[in-house]
Amino acid sequence: MLEEMIDRFLGLLITFFHFLWVIFMLTGFSWTVLAYFIHRRFFDFFWFRTLHALGILLVSSFPLLGKYCPLTIWENFFRQKSGEAYGGGFILHYLEKFIYPDIEPVVIRIGTFIVAFVSIAVYILRPPKRTRRWFKKT
């Protein structure tokens, strides 16, 4: 009983982290586009843009490698281990609808590749200020 509760909690925790990761990827994309068009220091936050660029490269590599997102795998593992299929409360229901929309996977893959391409292109064309200084020194 306790082990099932812990597994269910871990599944919920991973679902919540997955939701935050998706929000970070979408927010990072918005900031990346704004950083290109609006030359403000606010959108030039090095660590945010660098972590987003690395994250979007990671996320877009999964479909290319024919792999699933590890967060999805861990969510399913802990839910199955706890005896829970996809179910839960009100908030979890809408979190899952956001993380796993009811559209064709190819549409999500294409969208991910577009976001990755634009994000990396902007990172290269208009890198964060700290990165520009690194390139000028060499």
**Which domain range does residue 52 map to?**
2-137
DSSP output for the chain:
-HHHHHHHHHHHHHHHHHHHHHHHHHHHHHHHHHHHHS--GGG--HHHHHHHHHHHHHHHHHHHHT---HHHHHHHHHHHHHT--S---HHHHHHHHHHS-SS-HHHHHHHHHHHHHHHHHHHHHS--HHHHHHHHH-
Checking if the pLDDT of 96 tops 80, the result is no
pLDDT in tens, 113-128: 998 999 898 888 888 7
Domain count of the fold of the chain: 1
pTM for this one?
A: 0.77
